[in-house]
Amino acid sequence: MNLSKLSLIIFLFFCFPCFGETRFSTDIQHVEPTHWWLGLKNKSLQIMVHGKGIGSTEVSSTAPGWKLQKVHRSGNPNYLFLDFEFTAQAKPGVYKIGFKSGSKTQFIDYEIRGKNEMAAGARGFDASDVMYLIMPDRFSNGNPGNDFPEGALEKPDREAPFGRHGGDLAGIENHLDYIRDLGVTAIWLNPVIANNQTQSSYHGYSFTDFYKIDTRLGTLQEYKRLIEKCHQNGLKMVQDMVANHIGTGHWWMSDMPAEDWVHPAGNPLVRTNFKIETVVDPNASPKEREIFEKGWFDVSMPDLNQTNLFVAKYLIQNTIWWICETGIDGIRMDTYPYNDKEYMARWCREVLREFPAFGITGEIWVDQPAVCAYFTEGGLVRDGYKGTLPSSTDFPLYFALSKGLSEEGGWEAGLNRVYVALSQDFLYKDAAKNVTFIDNHDLSRFITTQKGNVAKLKQGLAMLLTIRGIPQLYYGAEILMAGDGASHPDVRKDFPGGWPGDSLNLFSESGRRENVDSVFRYFQHLLKWRKTSQAVHKGSFRQFIPVDNQYAYLRKYQNEMVLVVVNGNDKPGKLDLNRLADEWAGKYRKEVIEVISGEKFDLSGNELSLPARGLMIFEFKN
């Protein structure tokens, strides 16, 4: 007998139980992760097993390359945590794990797959990308058959502002051509993971099962197909994740794995104080810092305790599972500072160790750049904390743009707000990795903050697409969808034309009229131009002090330069070019193209006339 046949016999002997083994039966309800992969740098795996009385059993599982290292009993007799280790001899296959009680043994199958090819394609995101944020329930209903699937706790009601409206993954897939043709390069979806709550579950941020797609949105196979089609269309996929909390409907809440799995709710319930500053404040009250981190985000959102090592391991493995299973390109981590900060630093390290090119940004909702930078890799920190977050959501710049364009100029107002916000970039190791935006699913839509002024919307968009960072757009901004963030459903309305029978279809060019058509074409024109500009993707950023609420900045890369000039006033003005001309005099061709109009300009004069609420983008090339 040759060596290869002998190895196979040994493998089968250890992987499969002997015939005649007496078995007992317990109701094993959950085994997570549901399966795993070879080829990862971390050769260990921790499996959580949940079933009545499973904690009192003896566990065995042995096969070449697969070793049970340790069995952890959590205090709840219905749980076990099993530590396995892979060696170079491990092969893809179905492994047997035995649970013995007395003389009887029950076996489960556990699948180990080969080196994952989906995750190998995860491309990350950078400043060459523009993300398009979609709330799946409110974008398009491509499959009405999944609006109220078996087991769903909340009936669909499109008339209810906080209800389920029926948007799904199929609806997004049906409109990939619209998204692609708009000119963005990536899609960020609000969470698609199971949220089976009794009410207000449409937004997706109350997970009830970390290993399932929400059935109202579709299936795991549909999600994987959507990602594959995105990649085929030159679009990346960014998945929204939540580590801070779960929903009260999560199955853990009826049988907690350990007493300290979630932070105690308190009586009355203790909610977080939402003061992110307590994490970084050297003078903060320890009690208030504790309330921030351990208080529940909402009465329906139990707060996970990541200082519990099993919770931490579970969440890290779950992230890696989604990357391997689906081939997503990046993650936006919700409520990043509300988690244990040491855990989050570890989470980033372990994910990026496996997938160095993977994209991660963290939601840090504050208006102080120093607080955002605190959590990022290489951020300016003096208390010894070593953040590992590659990218922060740039709320400080958002506030500066939103307020700065909506008010008159001044020493601390108008476009000076933008200048001051960007002057703080020294706090970051690389501010170009920040995700920038003018609105999102939690904020008033930009057209609303600008009181319906389309010229200001166009200024905000053009600045977003040319200032340093990774721009993010919110679905519907391109068709003038409005909404006041004081009521979340008001900024999460259905996309017109996404439902059968809609009287207005703004996915279709024929449905877009007047201002809507003008704004859509403006978005599309700038987005398609941005794809071609290496100066915007990779260039340095230099800004000039706003004078009379007129602001200018440059992007430079090799032989390319982009100059952006903005008039923040409601009347025409003249920009003094003498302050800027040293940047291009004698270095570029005399005639330059203004990107928005396509017209040629000679900027060798002393001043440039700007229309009221005007913005110009000049592209210089040698």
Q: Which residues of 52-82 are buried (b: 16+ CB within 10 A; e: fewer)?
A: eebbebebebebbbbebeeeeebebebbbbb
Rounded CA-CA distance 270/247 in Å is 16
Closest CA to 423 of 322, 231, 553, 606: 553
Phi-psi region of 130 (alpha: psi -120 to 50; beta: other; left: phi over 0): beta
Catalytic residue among 147, 293, 363, 425: 363
Q: Is 563 helix (H, G, I), strand (E, B) or coil?
A: strand
- Token look-up 């979630």 returns 262
Rounded CA-CA distance 21/133 in Å is 54
The answer to whether the beta carbons of residues 211 and 251 sit under 8 Å apart is: no
Is 281 an annotated catalytic residue?
no
Helix axis angle, 395-406 to 416-423, nearest 10° = 160
In 469-516, where do the E strands start and end? 470-474
User: What residues pair up with 113 in beta bridges, in sequence order?
Assistant: 37
Rounded CA-CA distance 618/39 in Å is 48
The answer to whether the beta carbons of residues 371 and 364 sit under 8 Å apart is: yes
Is 363 an annotated catalytic residue?
yes
> How do beta strands 79-86 and 28-32 pair?
unpaired
∠ Cα 387 120 339 (to 5°): 25
Give the tokens for residue 396. 């400080």
The answer to whether the beta carbons of residues 214 and 162 sit under 8 Å apart is: no
Catalytic residue among 325, 334, 354, 439: 334
Active site residues: 334, 363
